[in-house]
Structure 1
Amino acid sequence: MSSTKGLEGVVATQSAISSIIDDQLTYAGYRIDDLAENSSFEEVIYLLWNQKLPTESELKVLKTQLREEMALPEAVIAHLRSYDLSTVHPMAALRTAVSLLGLYDSEADEMSEDANKRKAVRLQARMATIVAAFSRIREGKDPVQPKDNLSFAANLLYMLNGEEPKGIEIEAINKALVLHADHELNASTFTARVCVATLSDMYSGVTAAISALKGPLHGGANERVMKMLTEIGEEENAVPYIQERLERKEKIMGMGHRVYRNGDPRAKHLKKMSKELTELTGQPKWYNMSVKIEEYIKKEKGLPANVDFYSASVYHSLGIDHDLFTPIFAVSRVSGWIAHILEQYANNRLIRPRAEYTGPQTQDYISIEKRS
């Protein structure tokens, strides 16, 4: 029995949710390019959960359900207010708040298909509200209630900023949500499936997934990209900064990807939005700097940008705090986590791999008084 480090290349399950084949990402067979350019995030949620695009009436029902379930229990709001907001990271707050949500859901441990679908809607809707409420509470402001006439993407920005967003801002966040919604068997999705394969509840599965996403090797790349851009400061500093980092053999975040060899197909969509938004906000340097870094890394290392690289300047241009980048990722990715959780429940087998033992072989037990 031999092992593969990091399970790279190991096929662990069968899934009809998304695929990465020949550097092309699809959701239920639909190309990510088509979805990013044409679909709303609500359509993608429905697609991932049902493996088909919704009709107009089906989409209307889902949009209504999501808006109706966005309100948080008062106890969760009170809990967010109790955090030490000067030190707690938003991902830790999100992880704890989602776990807490399960205590206030009478169906949390009800495992019927209908109950799980209702919980899916609640979790999808309330993740956005948690992130927005946490952001406002730590700014000393009251949480903002969603509006019935706004889309999911528009409500997310509205609840964060307290102002209805512009068309291009809605387009940008909608694209980001669509592009991050699912990505086959990534670390957080696999964590969610392992968790619920024990027949644990959906809240446990999503909490486990958030815990995996919290790690900087998975969900924190865009936050670290923006930190790098901020350190660089001006366009003329970009290439010298990267040269110095490479000479010290330091990793450049947002470059390359474990499963793509010829480039992340999602990156180009956010690159376009980055250009438009940074021009709109009068700070084109963030986009120009990013392009210079991408071109240099591609020339020196053969690594193109991944989806996290340009999402950094997109989120920054939307006025989103840098430490909220990964929680926003989670607001999108929960749609995929839930899809995988539902799929795991539908055809479950406990996930229990083996380990290749590398320790000492059989040893004789020595009584404690004879040990040296």
Structure 2
Amino acid sequence: MRSDIVKSISDAMYKDVSRGLKDVVLDFSEICEIDNNENKLRYRGYDVIELASSCNFECTISLLLDGELPSEHQYPRIEELLDQKRVLSDSVVSVIDALPLASQPMDVLRTSVSTIGCSISDDDLISIREQADQLIAQMPLIIGYLKARRDGGIAPKYCPGFSHAANVLSQFTGTELSDLDPKDIEIMDQVLTIHAEHELNASCFSARVTASAITDLVAAVTSAISTLAGSLHGGANEKVLEAVEEIATPEGAEEYIDSALREKRKVHGFGQRGCKAEDPRAIQLRLLAEQVSKGRGGSKILPILYSMNEAMRQHRNLWPNVDFYSVSVLHDIGIEKDLFTPLFACSRVVGWSAHVLEQLSDNLIIRPKAKYVGHAYRPIPL
């Protein structure tokens, strides 16, 4: 077994290998800084929590993709460009209709995004920037159409003049734009910014590897969506809610955590590679979860999360990450569990696109090496 071989490798050989690329610095980047000394996350120098609290998601799009917050004159153009692209082609709709109704939403999203790429051939940087707007605008519509199809209804109508957060919330909840609660739109706006970027995480790395081979943005985003779907990455938020549903009451959290750790089962929603304290995004999401709970007269999920957090801190001193409190926010504003990760993708596509643009601006194909530990030369038996 490969695991047995790895265990037998000497310490001297391990010095030459960074499994999982842990602590390997791949390249220079101007997009995102994870400052573990100050426990801060910054997008192009701006603190993510200050950004989420002070600016809307359209500003985050401009910051990550164009390098700066938009001016007063640039902002309407961002809204206009997204409005122009908020329509699904017949080919994308046909593909969604052809897929099994029970398909996982992330599989539908991946396949639909790949279909969008079939009509794109130009791969210059300007075109890639335009492709980014198209994906940002249309990915929520893919989920809205999927949700309506499986609910036996019709997706909410798109209307110009509403924010991107409003359009996302409308599609993900099946609620007409005019019927949305403005407070929920504000919550969604912050959620989108908080999830938009996080340096070279697994899905972003997938996007940059694909882009480095000189492909288009859609191919890179398709790779990223496939990676994000994994339960050790974006899919962790669904796993957190599944744990909450199994625990059922705050009193059951201690037994669940103790049992999971004894049996060496993964407890999702805790820990972040390189993070020495609580993820600042988790802190803000906890505040948003409390805000949503207060506005709805309480939450069944939030008290269980508090108890899980307390139990995990006592057992392992691990802090919640971005996936933990987001489940309370998303569940309580009416988003279904299997749409959590697609929502993550609809936000993170901005970060992926920014990294693809950066990768291609000074490209070097990403091609690491592996340390061979298999059999030495063996002659073929006669």
TM-score normalised by structure 2 residue count: 0.92
Aligned partner of 2:125 among 113, 125, 145: 113
Which one is further off, 184-193 or 165-174? Answer: 165-174
Unaligned runs of 5+ in 1: none
Give 1:8's aligned residue: 22
1:11-30 deviation per Cα after TM superposition (whole angstroms, max 9, x unaligned): 01111110112232110011
2:181 is aligned with 1:181: no
In the alignment, is the contact (CA less than 8 A) between 1:254 and 1:309 conserved in 2?
A: yes
Which one is further off, 271-280 or 215-224? Answer: 271-280
Moved over 3 A (4+): none
Which one is further off, 221-230 or 326-335? Answer: 221-230
Aligned partner of 2:115 among 82, 100, 104: 100
Deviation of 1:335 after TM superposition, in Å, equals 0.2
Give 2:54's aligned residue: 38
Deviation of 1:173 after TM superposition, in Å, equals 1.2
Alpha-carbon separation, structure 2, partners of 1:245 and 1:190: 30
Give 1:20's aligned residue: 34
Alpha-carbon separation, structure 2, partners of 1:269 and 1:349: 37
2:151 is aligned with 1:139: yes
The one-letter amino acid of 2:132's match is A
Aligned residues: 363
Aligned partner of 1:129 among 131, 136, 141: 141
2:318 is aligned with 1:303: yes
Give 1:328's aligned residue: 343
2:65 is aligned with 1:53: no
The one-letter amino acid of 2:80's match is T
Alpha-carbon separation, structure 1, partners of 2:226 and 2:299: 34
In the alignment, is the contact (CA less than 8 A) between 1:278 and 1:317 conserved in 2?
A: yes
Aligned partner of 1:155 among 142, 167, 172: 167
Give 1:84's aligned residue: 100
Give 1:215's aligned residue: 230
In the alignment, is the contact (CA less than 8 A) between 2:253 and 2:311 conserved in 1?
A: no
In the alignment, is the contact (CA less than 8 A) between 2:251 and 2:307 conserved in 1?
A: no
RMSD between aligned residues: 1.4
Alpha-carbon separation, structure 1, partners of 2:110 and 2:147: 15
In the alignment, is the contact (CA less than 8 A) between 1:70 and 1:129 conserved in 2?
A: yes
Deviation of 1:283 after TM superposition, in Å, equals 4.1
Alpha-carbon separation, structure 1, partners of 2:114 and 2:205: 18
Alpha-carbon separation, structure 1, partners of 2:218 and 2:229: 16
The one-letter amino acid of 1:188's match is S
In the alignment, is the contact (CA less than 8 A) between 2:299 and 2:332 conserved in 1?
A: no
In the alignment, is the contact (CA less than 8 A) between 1:235 and 1:285 conserved in 2?
A: no
Deviation of 1:351 after TM superposition, in Å, equals 1.1
SS of corresponding position for 1:285: coil
In the alignment, is the contact (CA less than 8 A) between 2:211 and 2:359 conserved in 1?
A: yes
In the alignment, is the contact (CA less than 8 A) between 1:69 and 1:121 conserved in 2?
A: yes
2:80 is aligned with 1:67: no
Which one is further off, 256-265 or 243-252? Answer: 243-252
In the alignment, is the contact (CA less than 8 A) between 2:33 and 2:41 conserved in 1?
A: yes
Which one is further off, 330-339 or 157-166? Answer: 157-166
1:117-153 deviation per Cα after TM superposition (whole angstroms, max 9, x unaligned): 2111101111111122111111111222322121101
1:278-315 deviation per Cα after TM superposition (whole angstroms, max 9, x unaligned): 23334423111111211221122111111100001111
In the alignment, is the contact (CA less than 8 A) between 2:136 and 2:346 conserved in 1?
A: yes
Alpha-carbon separation, structure 2, partners of 1:301 and 1:64: 49
Alpha-carbon separation, structure 2, partners of 1:256 and 1:58: 39
In the alignment, is the contact (CA less than 8 A) between 1:175 and 1:269 conserved in 2?
A: no
Alpha-carbon separation, structure 2, partners of 1:231 and 1:29: 41
Aligned partner of 1:200 among 215, 220, 242: 215
1:200-246 deviation per Cα after TM superposition (whole angstroms, max 9, x unaligned): 11111110111111111111111111111111222222223222222
SS of corresponding position for 2:34: strand
Alpha-carbon separation, structure 2, partners of 1:79 and 1:196: 25
The one-letter amino acid of 2:23's match is G
Aligned partner of 1:354 among 356, 369, 382: 369
Counting only pairs closer than 5 Å after superposition, residues 181-330 of structure 1 correspond to structure 2 as: 181-330=196-345
Alpha-carbon separation, structure 2, partners of 1:242 and 1:275: 23
The one-letter amino acid of 2:34's match is I
Which one is further off, 189-198 or 225-234? Answer: 225-234
Unaligned runs of 5+ in 2: 1-12
1:91-112 deviation per Cα after TM superposition (whole angstroms, max 9, x unaligned): 0000000000112x3xx22122
In the alignment, is the contact (CA less than 8 A) between 1:36 and 1:269 conserved in 2?
A: no
In the alignment, is the contact (CA less than 8 A) between 1:278 and 1:286 conserved in 2?
A: no
For the structure 1 residues 82 and 283, does the alpha-carbon distance in structure 2 shift closer, same or farther, using more than 3 Å as the test?
A: farther
1:175-206 deviation per Cα after TM superposition (whole angstroms, max 9, x unaligned): 11101101000111111111011111111111
The one-letter amino acid of 1:172's match is I
In the alignment, is the contact (CA less than 8 A) between 1:267 and 1:306 conserved in 2?
A: yes
Alpha-carbon separation, structure 1, partners of 2:380 and 2:246: 57
